[in-house]
Amino acid sequence: MTAAAEATAEVAAAAVNVPSLAKLAIAPSDIPSPPELPALPEDVTAEWLSEVLGRRVKSVVLEKTMPGTASKVFITVASEDDKASDTLPTQLCVKGGFDPNFIKMMPWIVMIYQRECDFYNHVAPKLDNMELPRSWWAGHNATQGIVVMDDLAAKGYGFGNPAEAWPVSRVLAGVEQLAALHAKTWHVQASDYPWLTSDYDQAILTLINTYDAVVNGPDRPKIHEYLKNQERITAVLKKHYALRNPRFRCLLHGDSHTGNTYIVDDAPRFLDWQMIHIGSAFHDLAYFIGAALTVEDRRAQEWEIVDHYLRTLEKFGVESLSSSDAEVRNEYRKSFLAGIGWIMCPYEMQPKECVHPMALRYSAALDDHKVLELVESLPDE
């Protein structure tokens, strides 16, 4: 691991190990946490599945484990299923913290597993206009968070690849999904989800401490020179976070790039709900558009896509909005700052073949929209 990557890992731990994040470990009171959860892939047994699913599972075969921020354990199950209208599939994905060494190094990581469980238990059932992976069970305790879900690959679905740009038609379908999420939680208040803290800003501002070391490291994407200024980027981010427009507050996916999608009939669906938080809807929108389109397609058609998103919001019950509204345009332009994460991402966290195209797309958007100048020109809060 390079020195920059080591530093990034250290500040990542510091970013999420702030006092307010302790609240993430507290489950909503109406769903009790199970006393014991599997800690290793081999602990996912027929007995455990039978208990949490409430149906008899006769056998479990562990097919493979895919490591990552959260491990995905792929299993084949045989069950005595008497619920003909809701038959358990034979292939499932059990997602959670199944790497004890990783958790020992970064114990805070359990909190994002818990957050995804709470999303599936408390938010997903309300999203009637959004397509989501089927969760058969989700729960957490103090040391683990697990979601038992459909094996999407076994269903024949593909997955988004950050290295690849998408056609405009697929992006239009994607913003409809984001609009379904945002409209259902439009003007949300923190009291609506007392279990959900919003620590995204602090995490990014802590990670930015390694910005200079990463963006000026060897073999990095060729971005505009002024975007390499850590001090300026930090000041702009702080001001942007302080000036988000409350008109557009809702619950966010939080990490809505193309790598967190699966594809059904050429339409994207969002997965990996570990970074949900309350913020400006345009964070998700700009972050998604900036990731999904080539620079040329974004320049040519982004405002048509924004208006399509706004019309979809209105269809789902949000007040009429237009990209001709200066507040809408400025909030969208500012929100490309979400792409800073890819510009400063070391190759140990994401492969070079993904970092380069993503960083170049976001840096072009930041420059096209003069985002730094826009934020700097705004009056203080």
- The residue among 302, 310, 308, 304 whose CA lies nearest residue 327 is 310
CB 328 within 8 A of CB 245: no
Sheet holding 158-159, edge to edge: 158-159, 261-264, 267-270
pLDDT for the residue numbered 178: 98
* Number of continuous H segments (helices) and E segments (strands) in the chain: 14, 10
pLDDT for the residue numbered 256: 97
Sites in the chain below the pLDDT cut of 50: 1-30, 32
Q: Please name the amino acid found at residue 285.
A: L
DSSP of 118-160:
HIIIIIGGG-TTS--PPEEEEEEETTEEEEEEE-TTTTT-EE-
pLDDT for the residue numbered 5: 45
Q: Pairing mode, if any, of strands 277-280 and 249-252? A: antiparallel
DSSP of 160-201:
--TTS---HHHHHHHHHHHHHHHHHTTT--GGGSTT----HH
* Residue with tokens 């990014």, as numbered in its chain: 204
pLDDT for the residue numbered 197: 77
Residues ≥6 apart with Cβ < 8 Å to 282: 248, 328, 331, 332, 334, 335
pLDDT for the residue numbered 243: 95
Q: For the chain, list the domains and their CATH numbers.
A: 16-155 (3.30.200.20), 158-377 (3.90.1200.10)
Sign of CA dihedral 220, 226, 227, 228: positive
* Residue with tokens 């427009």, as numbered in its chain: 245
Q: Pairing mode, if any, of strands 91-96 and 71-80? A: antiparallel
Q: Please name the amino acid found at residue 118.
A: D
pLDDT for the residue numbered 82: 58
CB 275 within 8 A of CB 287: no
Rounded alpha-carbon distances, angstroms, from residue 244 to 26, 84, 190: 27, 48, 15
Q: What is the pLDDT of residues 234-292, one digit of tens each?
A: 999 999 999 999 999 999 999 999 999 999 999 999 999 999 999 999 999 999 999 99
What are the backbone dihedrals phi and psi of residue 326, each rounded to the nearest 5 degrees, phi first? -60, -35
- Please return the burial class of 381, using the count of CB atoms within 10 Å of its CB with bins 0-12, 13-18 and 19+: exposed
Q: What is the pLDDT of residues 307-359, one digit of tens each?
A: 999 999 999 999 999 999 999 999 999 999 999 999 999 998 899 999 999 99
**What is the number of other CB atoms lying within 10 angstroms of the CB of residue 346?**
21
pLDDT for the residue numbered 28: 47
Report the C-alpha gap between 98 and 102 in whole angstroms: 9
**What is the number of other CB atoms lying within 10 angstroms of the CB of residue 352?**
14
pLDDT for the residue numbered 40: 96
Residues ≥6 apart with Cβ < 8 Å to 34: 52, 139, 141
